[in-house]
Structure 1
Amino acid sequence: MVVAPSSIIEPVDSNQIFDENELLRYLQAHVKDFPQPPAKLSVFKFGHGQSNPTFLLKVDLFGTTTRYVLRKKPPGILLQSAHAVEREYQVLAALGTKTNVPVPRVHCLCTDSNVIGTPFYVMEYVEGRIFLEPSLQSLNPKERLPIYQAMARALAAIHSADVDAIGLKKYGRRDNYCKRQVERWAAQYSASTGVGKPDVDPAMIRLMEWLRNNIPIEDSQIESGTGLVHGDFRIDNLVFHPVEARVIAVLDWELSTLGNQWSDVAYNCMPYNISDLRSAGSASYGFVNGIKPDGIPSQAEYLADYCAMSGRPWPGQSWTFYVGLSLFRMAAIMAGVYQRFLQGNAAGGGRASSGGAIAHTLAVTALEIIKSDMAMPSRSLKQKGTDEQHVSNRIGFSPSARVEEMKNKLVAFMEKYVYPNEEKFEELAVSDKRWTIHPLEEELKNLAKAEGLWNLWIPVDSAAKASKILYEDEASKPQGFVDRLTGAGLSNLEYGHLCEVMGRSLWAPQIFNCNAPDTGNMEVLLRYGSPEQQRVWLKPLLEGKIRSGFAMTEPQVASSDATNIACSITRHGKDYIINGRKWWTSGAMDPRCQLLIVMGKTDFKAPMHKQQSMILVDVMTPGVKILRPLTVFGYDDAPHGHAEVIFEDVRVPATNLLLGEGRGFEIAQGRLGPGRLHHCMRLVGVAERAIQMMVKRAVERKAFGKSLSEHGAFASEVAECRLDIEQARLTVLHAANQLDLYGNKIARGAIAMAKVAAPRTALRVLDSAIQVHGGGGVCSDFVLAHLWAAARTLRIADGPDEVHVGTIAKLEIAKSRL
């Protein structure tokens, strides 16, 4: 446990005394290296805490004192499923041996109530600091921020634990967590009130009903955002290093389970949302007088730290619910503590006696927060590293001054180098040497690097990480070195304006290293790759020295439902063996392609969305057979191409697996947000180029005695096209903005709308432009036919329209149920 303020060590209450001699005999028999007779045992109580009673054990033998900590169930009649010390022991044992989550080492679990009256477990005593209140009044302001950052890091470590790998796969249900939590704590509260018990609080009933009617949409199939939940993560349940700002032990796992981890984050943020409760007998939940002390980060800053450390965006509009749920849970717990106090069974002394008043205060506070929506962080909450000035200068979705400058530079580059050379690239792509790279492309890539127009897709929170991967040896950088390879650190919304410009040419994205599927693959490696995987594959991809392919779709199954995937990835000793057939593996035909990210099944018997894994495969590995390029309306997209690939007993090292077995869907969900929205951004650029070509052609060509632009039919058509483009652009930028603010899950409806609207608009405008060009529009003399073929493909390749429409409908219908 801890060396903490002496006030939290107290004599054992008379109603909690147990047989110390019986305990000593049990520990000497069951705890390894426990001091043997004639050792003497002294027992003290930790006054801090009001749930499972916790005791300090001092064992003296020949002048040497050894300390242990015992945690037991309270005596008396308990609420069902409450105070499960057995589960605490289970989670501590799993985390302590197989993760980097800081927890005390556990020594034994005793379920025999005959020993000391109730089940208990014993763990190590950890020396450190416990801060009993979130204001950190005992520290100077400069010391407070590192403590909060350490707390965020510990929470992120818990939420990153692979529960399947450490034996906690069945530690709890993962689906409908929020709904079950509301009902659980409603039941707990009901069991603590009523006839012969404290009266029911009307504020608690109102809060309970609001929560029931505002449960966030939770996808029980994908189980996204779920994992290990601590359940009571707050600063006074942490042990900090004696002198360093580092958590060395996370305590009190009584409420831990599997579920929606944002409930943990909201509970941890309670000090930002409630005042201290000194008048109700407690000061540990909120800041003193409701004022955040100097040095402690704002809620937005703290959430940004957590998001950066855990790799997840904050939940946006659902945040108020999570805050309300946390307050309701705390209130229900305090009502139970108060009931046990009246029965004479509660630990915690004075705080337990005020439990009823605390519960009421928490419920009223929650209702006020819900009414005012004041729990929401300001819109200034964003990914760390975003430049404050250009965000504040942005009006709506329009680009900031910095992005506008970059856009102008990009447009100038396109006009000077890309458009004039499209014909040369196209000539090579239809010749008998079409599977080779035009030397001009490499020249233009070097020019783009020199202009700082390279890897613009890298998100703001990943730019520093990408730079570190590219420049491992910082000392080797020359004086005055400027990094021109890791982008500008843009948000999705900012990148949208630049991606649209690149989308106006089929050849442009690869010149700026912003091409699919490489951007998605690089993002996967940035997020989920090991340091060695990043060194071997990500570094040359970021440099543009190699290319990659993404192998997921299969010809034998409907791949719009990825659970159908049949490719097997089987463990054999230190290797995996891959067998399967893939097609539409974009990039696999490119002579520079050296890496394939393959999605297959490592466990066909696991739950549906835990069967799939992703693995890295060198294309030169024996058994990888690239059969043929697939054509899109006659275009084979050389030298890039889309290939059909067979994997026959392809053996790769186990270290090539990404993230872990059964994590394929998790990776896919991370990849399919920003990466797939890039297609929508480019399609707006396609439509923009089409309308420009359409107008130019109409002005230049005459029919029936006047230019095409003077005909009424054309005026109507071009106006409709402009309306469609502006609507599609706003839809895509809105989706990008939602992605920046709330992440993939909250933004999924906006992203689905963009994926339907963008290709439809591009095809509609292209069709009009083709019509104005007449016979030239459907031949290869103009780029329109090729652009049309690419845009039509994305209504399938980027997920069928039907899937996206289904998502939109599902979310819309769900609104009516709230």
Structure 2
Amino acid sequence: MASRTSDLVGEVNPGPGFDLNALLRYASANVRGFPHSPSRFSVSQFGHGQSNPTYLMEAGSGDSVKRYVLRKKPPGKLLASAHAVDREFQVLQALGNHTQVPVPKAFCLCTDSSVIGTEFYIMEYLEGRILIDPKLPGMAPERRRAIYRETAKTLASLHSANVDSIGLGKYGLQNNYCKRQIERWAKQYVASTSEGKPARNPKMFELIDWLRQHIPPEDSSGATAGLVHGDFRIDNLVFHPIEDQVIGILDWELSTLGNQMCDVAYSCMPYIADMGHDKVHKGMELSGIPEGIPSLAEYLAEYCSLAGRRWPVAEWKFYVAFSFFRGAAIYAGVYNRWIKGSASGGERARYTEILANGFIDAAWEFIERKSVLPPSGDYLKEVVNEREMQGLSNRGKFIPSQEVLKLRNRLIKFMDDHIYPMENEFYKLSQSESRWTVHPEEEKLKELAKKEGLWNLWIPFDSAARARDLIFNGSKNNDRLLGAGLTNLEYGYLCEIMGRSVWAPQIFNCGAPDTGNMEVLLRYGNKEQLQEWLIPLLEGKIRSGFAMTEPHVASSDATNIECSIKRQGNSYIINGTKWWTSGAMDPRCRILIVMGKTDFNAAKHKQQSMILVDVKTPGVHIKRPLMVFGFDDAPHGHAEITFENVRVTAKNIILGEGRGFEIAQGRLGPGRLHHCMRLIGAAERGMHLMVRRAVGRRTFGKLIAQHGSFLSDMAKCRTELEQARLLVLEAADQLDRLGNKNARGIIAMAKVAAPNMALKVLDMAMQVHGAAGLSSDTVLAHLWATARTLRIADGPDEVHLGTIAKLELRRAKL
């Protein structure tokens, strides 16, 4: 079950002292950007959750309403050290200001209880999805898997935060976390049951004794210490409204420093016990894991590989039992507050006594198992060990899996058998009078690539899942169109091979700008747009263009663009001139994604929108192809296009007005890293041709390969190539683990390093070939021209260097 964050609000249950007028005065004075003297101000309570009461604040005038979230201590007498909203505010500020861990922005903390009766803080409202049921009912299997992978990635990201550098080094004691937690929650349980409501469970005290005797040895040394969330579960995450990406981690009440494996075990609880509305049932591990959700083994392996850790097999019973013990203590406290009328979960708190006892039983059931391993437990060790061998734990080694190696070898053979032998034929046609036509052999090779399973390999796993949901109704019959479900890192090993020939990517439907445009549709398009345009693009029946750059402004700063997209009834009218629209000259090009301004008076980054335009629409004029170092790249081409009163249905707007920058940033992730991957392949081709030439040509009485200057330069080329390859693979890995936004620094580095390295290697290869290297008799000149172009087309070096420098300065301020 998925709920929008806005769907979880209900009637206000403020408790004594909740003065709305006082709250409005405080927010107006302390929250930056809060509407001045709003005509509307309302507060409604979120019903989900059982800890600190949480409220939605809405303030504004007319149609302009801003939303905020207020989180406060419960009223009445509280248990010692509980409900510390000041600590929540502290950790949110530290993570939000200094890391890429997804958290809502914290605006202000109020320690003056006279305002609304208790201490509180105000933070950013996140519009997204709360996935309440960990079984994810009603979702396609691929989306379930993507969500669990994202959950593991988010936890690994949280655990990677350097607490000393972000100002949380004294947020808690790092040693003896489990020992201290056992005593703390034991006291909480005793305090919660002191009046007989709930009744004390003797098994709880036996569990406390067992835990005291089995504390892991690493706990006393702090070997697994770091930032701990304390309540990390899927329903404490806010997912993007349409993407399977975490945009915020909620409920930091129990956060501190300590043993991070406690977080891991707590997040695994649904596999072992299913907490229903009024009863604890068998977990997914025994009752059946819904299709698509990874097994416990796979989930743990995913986390361990991303966090660079080993699964603590010997101590796993402790960590799981500890999770249930703490949950039982928490629910006993909630029930105690419900009896007193101060529980924030309303009537849901009525059953927490039953849930507390159910958790105690679940802990003992797990302790008494002969083995901690689920039925697939042996697989867990295999997966973790395999991923460590692959180097996916971010330790600097990148070795593809057996599955990817098979694809890579198949791809290399395809290139050797079909692409390289046809390069001269493709070049001949591109230089002839018929160059704006497609070589008939190209379509034959595309069909062969489909049969070989080498089609659309670029499609990310989560994007494929969304496409399957929206346009194929969950059916796997069209999986041949949706690639192999690879990660960005896995695709990197294959994309490099395609980059060895300028003609190869399109044969596998992995060429720009089609990949970027399909990525936009996969991420942001609605069902109708996907049906009309994405399917033929996935099938390779049509091609596309991306129209953003304009001749009269510096388009590296997209706020400069002047093309207008004006609403007129049920249509948009487009006027403007674009150039360097790659792909628009191709006779198969049918659709353009045009970026223009729908509101010239909106905020700077809310003026732009993207819209789909059929190239056959009246008013679309493709004026001319543009030359790149003498190459017009026929039949693909780079066009100058004018749009003169082009009328397009309003249904063609992507995601909505003012969302252009948001879409562009999503497109600038995986799709743009593909260029860097291909440049590694281009440089590798240059190295191969350079060496082959050097061992076959003589100058001044000896082979070029025998000249000391050549040997030195060749060695430097190889060194820089390997450095760039590792940087690109690291960028792909961070894209997988951290997402587009959080990986932007390393992506910027790759975009600077890869083309500059490729230019150096290819220049050296051309030098070794002499005059032949400058001609069309080899691929070197064309590869060099492509690499040089990407230093502008993929964003100017200066823009990427600016990004890198800003992030570096931000880190220096920590």
Using the size of structure 1 for normalisation, the TM-score is: 0.62
Q: Does 1:629 align with 2:625?
A: yes
Shift of 1:75: 4.7
Q: 1:449, CA displacement in angstroms?
A: 0.6
Contact 2:464/2:522 (CA < 8 Å) preserved in 1?
A: no
Cα deviation, residue 170, structure 1 = 3.7
Which residue among 547, 554, 560 is the counterpart of 1:551? Answer: 547
Deviations 1:747-775 (A, max 9, x none): 01111111101101100101110110110
Does the C-alpha gap of structure 1 residues 674 and 79 become closer, same or farther in structure 2, counting only changes over 3 Å?
same
* Deviation at residue 779 of structure 1 after TM alignment: 1.1
- Looking at structure 2, the residues matched to 211 and 468 of structure 1 have their Cα atoms a distance apart, in angstroms, of 34
The DSSP-based 3-state class of the residue aligned with 2:505 is helix
- What is residue 272 of structure 2 aligned with on the other side? none
- Corresponding residue number in structure 2 for 1:661: 657
In structure 2, which of residues 554, 562, 568 is the aligned counterpart of residue 566 of structure 1? Answer: 562
Give 1:538's aligned residue.
534
Match of 2:409 in 1: 408
Q: Distance in 2 between matches of 1:234 and 1:541?
A: 32
Where in structure 2 are the equivalents of 1:118-157 lying within 5 Å?
none
Provide the rounded CA distance (Å) in 1 between the counterparts of 2:613 and 2:795: 24
Residue 435 of structure 1 corresponds to 436
The DSSP-based 3-state class of the residue aligned with 2:685 is helix
CA distance in 1, matches of 2:717, 2:236: 40
Q: CA deviation at 1:592?
A: 0.2
Deviations 1:417-464 (A, max 9, x none): 001110100010011111000001011111101101000001112334
Q: Does 1:509 align with 2:509?
A: no
Tell me the residue number matched to 2:234: 302
Question: Residue 731 of structure 2 is aligned with which of 708, 731, 735?
Answer: 735
- Other-structure match for 1:359: none
The yes-or-no answer on 1:602 pairing with 2:598 is: yes
Partner of 2:243: 311
Q: Which residue is equivalent to 1:450?
A: 451
SS at 2:634 equivalent: coil
TM-fit CA distance, 1:526: 1.0
Is the partner of 1:609 in helix, strand or coil?
coil
Matches within 5 A, 1:643-682: 643-682=639-678
For residue 801 of structure 1, what is the aligned residue in structure 2?
797
Spell out the pairing of 1:750-761 with structure 2 (5 A cutoff): 750-761=746-757
Contact 1:624 1:645 in 2 (8 A): yes
Q: Is the 8 A contact 2:762 2:784 kept in 1?
A: yes
Structure 2 equivalent of residue 639 of structure 1: 635
* Displacement of 1:350: 4.0
Q: 1:596 to 1:301 in 2, by over 3 A?
A: farther
- Which is greater in Rg? 1
The Cα of 1:532 is off from its aligned counterpart by 1.1
Residues 1:761 and 1:309: Cα distance change in structure 2 (over 3 Å): same
C-alpha distance in 2 between matches for 1:736 and 1:232:
27
Do the aligned partners of residues 785 and 535 (structure 1) sit closer, same or farther apart at CA in structure 2, a change above 3 Å counting? same
Deviation of 1:629 (Å): 0.5
5 Å-filtered alignment, 1:707-746, equals 707-746=703-742
1:229 is matched with which residue: 114, 126, 133? 126
Identify the match of residue 687 of structure 2 among 688, 691, 708: 691
Aligned residues: 580
What letter matches 1:709 in structure 2? Answer: A
Q: Is the 8 A contact 2:88 2:255 kept in 1?
A: no
What's 1:417 paired with? Answer: 418
Secondary structure (helix, strand or coil) at the match of 1:646 reads strand
* Residue type of the alignment partner of 2:234: Y
- 1:405 maps to a residue whose letter is K
In 1, Cα distance between the equivalents of 2:128 and 2:583?
A: 45
Secondary structure of the 1:456 match is coil
In structure 2, distance between residues paired with 1:744 and 1:121? 34
Contact 1:469-1:539 at 8 Å conserved across structures: no
SS class of match (1:700): coil
User: Counterpart of 2:518?
Assistant: 522
Residue of structure 1 equivalent to 2:97:
216
Deviation of the 1:311 alpha carbon? 1.1
SS at match of 1:515: coil
1:591 Cα deviation from its structure 2 partner: 0.3
- Are 1:398 and 2:399 matched, yes or no? yes
Corresponding position of 2:66 = 171
Residues 684 and 305 of structure 1: CA distance in aligned 2, closer, same or farther (over 3 Å): farther
SS in 2 for 1:449: helix
Contact 2:130 2:236 in 1 (8 A): no
Deviation (angstroms), 1:468: 6.1
CA offset digits 1:515-562 (Å, max 9, x no partner) = 000001111111111111111100000000000000011111111111
Q: Given that residues 127 and 241 in structure 2 are in contact (C-alpha distance below 8 angstroms), is that contact kept between their aligned partners in structure 1?
A: no
How far residue 485 of structure 1 moved from its aligned partner, in angstroms, is: 2.7
Please tell me the residue identity of whatever aligns with 1:496. Answer: G
Alpha carbons of structure 1 residues 300 and 743: separation in structure 2 relative to 1, 3 Å? farther
Aligned to 1:375: none
Give structure 1 stretches of 5+ with no counterpart.
Answer: 1-53, 55-68, 88-108, 112-118, 124-129, 135-154, 174-180, 248-261, 267-272, 292-297, 329-346, 355-386
Q: In terms of mean alpha carbon deviation, does 602-611 or 465-474 score higher? A: 465-474
Query: Aligned-pair distance for 1:213?
Result: 5.1
The CA deviation at 1:696 is 0.4
Deviation (angstroms), 1:638: 0.5
CA-to-aligned-CA distance 1:563-617 (integer Å, 9 cap, x gap): 1111111111010000010011010000000000000111111111111110000
Return closer, same or farther for 1:472/1:620 CA change in 2, 3 Å cut-off: farther
Aligned twin of 2:365: none
Amino acid at match of 1:629: P
CA–CA separation in structure 2 for the residues paired with 1:473 and 1:210: 40
Q: How does 1:24-39 map to 2 (within 5 A)?
A: none
Q: How does 1:697-708 map to 2 (within 5 A)?
A: 697-708=693-704
Aligned-residue offset at 1:405: 0.7
Letter in 2 for 1:582: K
Q: Secondary structure at the match of 1:566?
A: coil
Q: CA deviation at 1:133?
A: 6.3
User: Structure 1 residues 200, 627: closer, same or farther in 2, change over 3 A?
Assistant: same
| 8 Å Cα contact 2:472/2:478 also seen in 1 | no
Quick one: structure 1 residues 199 and 737, their matched pair in 2 at CA, closer, same or farther if it must change by over 3 Å?
closer
Say if 2:128 and 2:240, in contact at 8 Å, map to a contact too. Answer: no
In 1, Cα distance between equivalents of 2:793 and 2:550: 12
- Against the structure 1 CA distance between its residues 201 and 131, is the aligned structure 2 distance closer, same or farther, given a 3 Å change threshold? closer
Distance 1:323 1:131 in 2: 11
Could you tell me which amino acid in structure 1 is paired with residue 126 of structure 2?
Answer: V
Residue 806 of structure 1 and its aligned partner are, at CA, apart by: 0.6
The residue number in structure 1 matching 2:117 is none
- Identical columns (%): 53
CA contact (8 A) 2:666 2:740 kept: yes
* Kept after mapping to 1: 8 A contact 2:471/2:527: no
Report whether the alignment pairs 1:771 with 2:771: no
Instruction: Give the Å deviation of 1:167.
Output: 8.2
SS at match of 2:782: helix
Q: CA deviation at 1:312?
A: 4.6
- Secondary structure of 1:795's aligned partner: helix
C-alpha change, 1:709 and 1:817, in structure 2 (3 Å) is same
Q: CA 1:280–1:745 in structure 2 vs 1: closer, same or farther (change >3 Å)?
A: farther
* SS of alignment partner, residue 756 of structure 1: helix
1:3 alignment counterpart: none
What letter corresponds to residue 762 of structure 1 in structure 2? A
1:77-96 alignment runs, 5 A limit: 78=19, 82=23
State the one-letter code of the partner of 1:302. Answer: I
The 1:535/1:203 distance shift into structure 2, 3 A limit, reads closer
Which of 739, 762, 766 aligns to 2:758? It is 762
Question: Could you say which residue in structure 2 is the equivalent of 1:65?
Answer: none
Counterpart amino acid of 1:699?
A: V
1:350-373: per-residue Cα shift (whole Å, max 9, x none)? 47599xxxxxxxxxxxxxxxxxxx
CA distance 1:490–1:348, shift in 2 (3 Å): same
CA–CA distance in 2 between the matches of 1:303 and 1:419? 52
CA distance in 2, matches of 1:402, 1:768: 35
What SS does structure 2 have at the residue aligned with 1:659? coil
Q: Provide closer, same or farther for how the CA distance between residues 299 and 426 of structure 1 changes in structure 2, counting only shifts above 3 A.
A: farther
